[in-house]
Structure 1
Amino acid sequence: MSRPPATQYSIHLQVTLDNVPGVLGRLATEIGAAGGNIFAVDAFVAKGAKLDRDMVVNCSSVEHQSEVVAAVENTPGVTLRAWWDRTFRKHEGGKIEVLSLYPVGDQDDLSMMYTPGVARVCNAIAADESLADEYTIRKNTVAIVSDGT
């Protein structure tokens, strides 16, 4: 049984839509048909014949993220400008120092910053150690080591 879409696998989409009736509806339908759950649609900016929108879509796995992105890319009247995994984005440069680098205001934030979101980032680093510089404080840290003499 597959997992339901959840915040820990949510993606942020930046899309440009043709400014004609029905395009946003088609996009929402395609995301839903791919099993994605639209969590948020931010304000839009109309630029004549085009609309720029930011959206958050909850997915159920990394593979599912790719399926949702493919559905968006194949929706007529929609151009996908950029997308990212929200959990990994919050871990860029390391997520916590003395204070959290990002506000942890609710359970949605906590699930990406700590459990279960942090496990995804840890597993990715375990599989590819080069990711440690991007998703931890390692690149921003200097170690001073002494034997006490």
Structure 2
Amino acid sequence: MTAGTARLRRWMRAGPRRLARLRHDVERATATTGSAPDSGRPSRLSALLWWLGTGLLALGLLFVNVGVAVSEFHVTPVVAVLAGLGQSAALVLILIRPTAATLLQFLAVAVFAIGMRGGYAVLQGGGESSPGMPGAVVVVPGR
């Protein structure tokens, strides 16, 4: 018997024990961290916290977007809700599909722009902190 063959036989006899020990180590590491070691994936709790945080932020921004769109930009409430839903959904969607989220964001902005009444919309600038600063002028084609 050659040295290589002897080494191969020893390795084959020890294989099941090594595999059982490896399984035990992986199960122990998974139980403590929530994911397999060196898998490159966040733990389940960490992923859920990202979804929860982003979802709550999107829900809060939905109400702010709709309120500002209706009161300051004089957009109808239906258009404001559609644009706000698109923007909030894009915020959550960016976690898994960044390209689709960007397209949805552009679509929401287009809905908002179409829903604005025609003419010039002037955002009030200046104020006490910066009296010389003019407001921003947004040109929207008339209908």
**Superposed pair shares fold, TM > 0.5:** no
Comparing both chains, which one has the higher relative contact order based on Cα–Cα distances under 8 Å and sequence gaps of 6 or more? 1
Q: Between Structure 1 and Structure 2, whose CA radius of gyration is higher? A: 2
Question: More strand by proportion, 1 or 2?
Answer: 1
Q: Name the TM-score, length of structure 2 as normaliser.
A: 0.24
Question: More helix by proportion, 1 or 2?
Answer: 2
